[in-house]
Every structure is written in structure tokens, then in C-alpha cells.
Structure 1
Amino acid sequence: MKIAVVAANGRTGKLITAEAIERGLDVTAIVRRDNKSAATQVIQKDIMDLTKEDLASFDVVIDAFGTWDPEKMDQHSATLGHLSDILAGTKTRLLVVGGAGSLYTDQTHTTMISDLPTFPDAFQPVAQGMKKSLDALRKRTDVNWTYISPAADFQAEGPRTGSYTLAGEEFTTNEKGESTISYADYAIAMVDEAQQGQHNQQRISVLGK
């Protein structure tokens, strides 16, 4: 299996790249600047400069792009839209590192957790930016996409436990009443989805046990 990790220099991208390499997969890092990931195969390009030809040989493309800059929130939609356009009509699967703010509070799917008054104001810009990109992705029937939301408490420095719980579109907690997952365990879930491919054109979520 050939996998490309877009934004492989980021915190999540690095761990996904390392997890895939550890499993013996053929991994290429796509980075804008010098490669800092574990991959030895590299495409050094800005996301918006990628072409159909650049991605034609991959079975799976993992989009790990993200920004916290309030002035750049439109880049979530722009970059994901570009990747969708150049993968449209192909067999290549597009897996997206998503956000938790767009998870629904219950099965009616009428209210997202970012709509709640308790949702932190500091996280609203990125939640809204990623929600907009997910809304656009849902309209794509020409792309084999899967959007994977992490738990609400997405811990960059959290431990790698080697396990996680797979959930759907609703905000979910574990037996301790917590919604948390480490970047390392999220990377495991992402590579599992890359290898197993069971959620085409769906948004799923993952949380720690």
C-alpha cells in the first residue's frame, strides 16, 4: 500500500507518518519545507501546488493540514477542496484529520458541541473553519473520503496506549466519562482506517479508552 501524508511536518502528520512506516507501508511525506518526518520519500510542495500527477500513484492520501491562525481559517476549506478536486474520479482514498467541534450532541444531528455555550471561545475559530471544510466535503460524491474527528481533548503529548474506541458522528465519552485521545493513539486509528477502509464517504470519530 502506498500512502502520502500531506503536512507530514506537523505534529499529527509526523506521528501518522511514523506509524505507517512502522507497519512497513510505503510512505511519502508531502511537505512545504524541509522534511522533518520519518519518511525518506518526499514531495516538497505547497498543498495548493499539488497536481493530479503528483498523487496518481497513491492508494491513500492522508490530509493532516491544520492551522490555528484566526486569519487563515479559510485555508482548511481551500486546501481540502483542492485535494478533493485533484483526487476526484480516482480510486485514491482521501483521509482527513478533522476536528471535534463539529461532533453532534445527540442522534438528532441538530446541534454540534461547538454550538453549546460551554464550548471554549478560544477554539471557535478553528472549529468553525474545520466545520466549513467538512460541510463542503460532504457534498463530494466524486471522492472516496473519510473524515476522522478526534475526541474533544486532543492531547499532543498524551501517551501511546495502543488502543482506542471507534465512534460515529455523536460526541462520545469513555467509561470514565472522558472524551480524550492522544495524538499517538489517533495516529494508530488513522493508519488502521487507511489499511482497512471501512468508512467511505463518512465522518467517524475516535477516542481513548
Structure 2
Amino acid sequence: MKNIVIIGASGYVGSALLSEALNRGYRVKAVVRHPENLNIEDDNLEIVKGDVTNSVEVARLAVGMDAVISAYNPGWKDPDIYEHTLQGYKAIIEGVRKSGVKRLLVVGGAGRLYVRPGVRLLDSGEVPEHLLPGIKGLAAVYANYLLPEKELDWVFFSPAANLKPGERTGRFRLGKDDLIVDKDGDSRISVADFAVALIDELEQGTHHREGMTVGY
């Protein structure tokens, strides 16, 4: 599995995924809204401007590839981020399905994860109000679009609550539906280590049609 698409490859998480994938020798088609923002030269990199809210265009961009990784985010400052997250992912999922590609890895959010029995992070009162629409949008993508999806071999990969810049250690813990916290009660992961964990999953293919998470 060496030919992949990364949607949103110039973003905060997407750029870390792109770097990790290229360093491991993957051939990457980077789909971005603004190619001028991606200043990387690599023989294994193709930078493509694309509208991933159009399922036909997604299918065209993905056809013939081995897997699609989506770090799509309409932008945290988008006042309609909830609706646009759902619209974007509806098109992405439909487009990947039409392309014939089976493997889809989605950069999810921590909001769906449980902080205690029956209480998700997004319902805990601990999430800043201005972030809730985007976080709820990703949780809705997982619940409404991916869980019923039986054709694609998908994974919804949630980071820890705090996804920060930091070093690539390669040391972390994986989980499924519960927020991972360290001995001090903090839930955190560097964006570099998140990228390591997701590309590990791409290579190993140990999770199928389920959510997973990573943290220290």
C-alpha cells in the first residue's frame, strides 16, 4: 500500500501526516485548497488543488490509489463549521466509495471519546464553547456517516484532547472509545506522534470499521 491520497495535506494535522508518509517512502497525492501553501519538493509528492466537497472530484482524485487519508477541516473560524464538516465528509465518503478505493482513514476528534461511563468529552462541559460546533461535527460524522458504512474499510482516528506541537517520540498508547490520560490526568499527544500512529495503522491495517484513539 504505497500510493495514497491525503486530503487537507497543508493543514496542521495534514502536514504532519504528509511529512511522516513521505519519510516512510509513500507516494502521496496531496489534495489541498491552496497549493501555494504547500512548499515541499519531493519526487514522491504530487500536489493537487481539489474541491473535496464535490464527490465526483473526490472520486476522480482517488481512483487507482491504495488508500485515502482525510484531514479535512473547513476551518475552525468558519461560522458554519458544523454543517460544512458534515457536507464535506458526506462528499468525501461518497467519492471514495465511487473511486473503488476501500481503505479510508479519517482524522477524527476527541469529542466522541468517553471521559467517564456514559459521558463523552463533548458533553462534559470541559470543551471551550467556541470549539463545540466543529467538535460536534466530527462526532456526527463518526456516528451518522461512518458507523453505518459497510462498504469502505474505514477507521476514525481520534487524538487525545490536547493535540499540540512537539517531538516525534514514537511512544504512545492506543485505545478505542475512552479518552487516554497520563498519570497526571492530562490527555495529550504531539501532532508528530499522532501522525506516526495513524501511518502505523495505514501500514499494519489492524483496525477495521471502528474508532480508535492515541495518547501518552
1:93 corresponding residue in structure 2: 103
Quote the residue 2:85 is aligned against: 76
1:153-180 deviation digits (Å, cap 9, x = unpaired): 111x222222221111111212343210
On the 8 A contact 1:91/1:144 being kept in 2, the answer is no
Q: Does 1:140 align with 2:145?
A: no
Give the aligned partner of residue 27 of structure 2: 26
Residues 144-159 of structure 1: pairs in structure 2 closer than 5 A: 144-155=153-164, 157-159=165-167
SS of 2:87 mapped into structure 1: helix
Flag the 1:113–1:32 CA change in 2: closer, same or farther, 3 A. same
Q: 1:13 to 1:51 in 2, by over 3 A?
A: closer
1:61-106 deviation line (CA, Å, top 9, x unaligned)? 0101122123232121111111111222734311001111110234
**Residue identity in the other structure for 1:93:** R
Q: CA deviation at 1:125?
A: 1.6
Q: TM-score of the superposition, structure 1-length normalised?
A: 0.90
| Cα distance in 2 for residues equivalent to 1:151 and 1:133 | 18
- 3-state SS of 1:24 partner: coil
Aligned equivalents of 2:133, 2:58: Cα separation in 1: 29
CA distance in 1, matches of 2:10, 2:103: 21
Q: TM-score, normalised by structure 2?
A: 0.87
| Aligned-residue CA RMSD (Å) | 1.8
- Farther off after superposition, 173-182 or 12-21: 173-182
Of 171, 178, 181, the residue aligned with 1:173 is: 181
Contact 2:6/2:68, CA 8 A, preserved across alignment: yes
- The 1-side partners of 2:173 and 2:200 are apart by 12
* 1:15 equivalenced with 2:16 (yes/no): yes
* Partners of 2:214 and 2:58 in 1: CA distance: 31
In the alignment, structure 1 residue 196 sits paired with structure 2 residue 197: no
> What residue is the counterpart of 1:46 in the other structure?
51
Question: C-alpha displacement at 1:117, in angstroms?
Answer: 2.7
- Structure 1, 160-169 or 37-46: larger mean CA deviation: 37-46
In the alignment, structure 2 segments of 5+ residues that lack a partner are none
| Equivalences, count | 205
Judge which range, 182-191 or 131-140, deviates more: 131-140
